[in-house]
Amino acid sequence: MKFKLRTLVAGAVVALTVFSCARQEMTTYTEAENATLAAWVQKHAPNAEKCNDNMYIEWIERNTNPGPADTLVEVGDWVRVKYTVKTLAGSVVNTRDEQVARIEGTYTPFTHYSPQLVYMNDPNVTMLEGQYEALQKMRRDDIVRLYLSSSYAYGPNGFGDDVGYGGQNKLQAQVPVIVDSFTLVDFEVDPIITEQKAVDEWVAQNWGLQPKDTIKSNFYMQLLPPFPIKRDSIGSKLDSVVQIYYVGRFLDGFVFDTNIDSIQERVYGRIVNEGPLQLAASDLVGDTVSVIEGWKIALKNACFGDHIRTAFVSAYGYGIQGAAASSSSSSATSTDLSYYDYINYMYYMNAMYGGLGGYGGGYGSGYGYGSYGYDSYYNNYYDMLYYSNLYGSMGGGTSSEDEEYIDDGIVSTEIQPFEPLIFDIYILPVEGDAVEDSNDE
């Protein structure tokens, strides 16, 4: 028994010794990296302020006359940020800036180069630690340049992204970086109110409609000419295949998905998504088709030959999850921020809104959300089908290990959380049916 005990103790000592050596080696590397970063900053960025051994900040533009709404960012805020990540040698590895992407030769017309919307959570899991700490020193319109050690950046994973936001080269593990032109574009406490207001304003300006014209809370829909002469509802022909052409846009006009040849050629310079989308009428009527909620509502009472246009908030689209960008190769490697965004958004919804069914309760009634129906619609945010619904036909998707894909550069852009959507949906007439001349009275 004593022998066994001595053996166990000896094993524990060896294990602790190995762990101690490994820890000491890691600490030594960290100290060497921090010393290298400090020397580089002293030589190349002498005006940068030292925040700690892992982070230096250099102010490019500062809001020196802040208004009442220009407070410092706090935990719990949603922020919209723009930035370009570089190595100390100047090689771009990640950017949200279209002009930088064009210069780097990584620009793609499939990518929506826009500020990134992320949530300030505690603990931070949505962004680089350096960005997180810098934001708490910033106000709206502030621009800084950050110099970060790898422990405040991408750490042991490095970063590689081929879905539009990546640079020419991938970042290796444990490499310090520069976050250049890190801009706080905007921040908000509640993006739900923001997107509601944005949709109402856009529809009023472009379609002349008011909130009273919605068919559901924050859901606008219109039937446009030319109208079918014979209105056969989809439900009246359950054995039919419904053929649909469509174009999906963001409020700024960016086309994120379409299968219309002329629009693809004009926007993307080529056709990558040919032919109509085909859905079984029985699936549409039976509500078993895997499309976003906004499409289900639009097509519920639709007829063959209809031209429908819709504008709606994210509760009917991709919700608080959004949809990750993808490419034909999809080889992104990193502490993937889109993944962390998703995890954190779920945490946010559970913490602030009480999880499933919690929205529209105590918090919702105080702000009037219950009257807008979010207690039911925001359950859509938890539906994992929203990652693989209609969106993604522009070249995204997944493959098995046995399949081979040629990387032709096609990507589908990300759809950010709380992103309102606009769709034009064209349902082809049943063969032999006709539509009236749009010039007829």
Closest CA relative to residue 310, chosen from 193, 425, 204: 425
**Tokens in use for 232?**
């056969």
Question: How many CB atoms lie under 10 A from the CB of residue 175?
Answer: 18
430 Cβ contact partners less than 8 Å away, ≥ 6 residues apart: 232, 237, 240, 304, 305
Least confident of 114-123, 240-249, 316-325: 316-325
Q: What is the mean pLDDT of the chain?
A: 79
* DSSP characters over 247-307: EEE-TT--EEEE--HHHHHHHHSS--S-S-EEEEHHHHHTT-S---HHHHHHHTT-BTT-E
Domains, the chain, ordered by start: 16-189 (3.10.50.40), 190-441 (3.10.50.40)
131 Cβ contact partners less than 8 Å away, ≥ 6 residues apart: 81, 83, 146, 179, 182
DSSP 323: B
Report percent pLDDT > 70 for the chain: 72
Please state the rounded mean pLDDT for residues 403-414.
56
Containing 362, the helix (H) or strand (E) segment is helix 362-367
Secondary structure (3-state) at 346 = helix
The C-alpha atoms of residue 299 and residue 277 are separated, in whole angstroms, by 13
Q: How many CA atoms lie within 13 A of 8 on its CB side?
A: 5
* pLDDT confidence tier of residue 169, bands split at 50, 70 and 90: confident
Higher pLDDT pick, 12 / 73: 73
**Tokens in use for 86?**
């570089």
Would you say residue 62 has pLDDT above 80?
yes
Name the amino acid, one letter, at 116: Q
Render pLDDT for 332-345 as a digit per residue (tens, 0 to 9). Answer: 444 444 444 544 55
Name the amino acid, one letter, at 84: T
Least confident of 16-25, 268-277, 321-330, 352-361: 352-361
pTM above 0.95, yes or no: no
* pLDDT confidence tier of residue 286, bands split at 50, 70 and 90: confident
The C-alpha atoms of residue 406 and residue 404 are separated, in whole angstroms, by 7
Sign of CA dihedral 295, 298, 301, 302: negative
pLDDT at 436: 54
Secondary structure (3-state) at 361 = coil
Please state the rounded mean pLDDT for residues 306-322.
95
Render pLDDT for 213-234 as a digit per residue (tens, 0 to 9). Answer: 999 999 999 999 888 777 899 9
Please state the rounded mean pLDDT for residues 133-160.
96
The C-alpha atoms of residue 429 and residue 361 are separated, in whole angstroms, by 44
Closest CA relative to residue 191, chosen from 318, 314, 292: 314
Q: Evaluate whether 327 touches 406 at the Cβ level (below 8 Å).
A: no
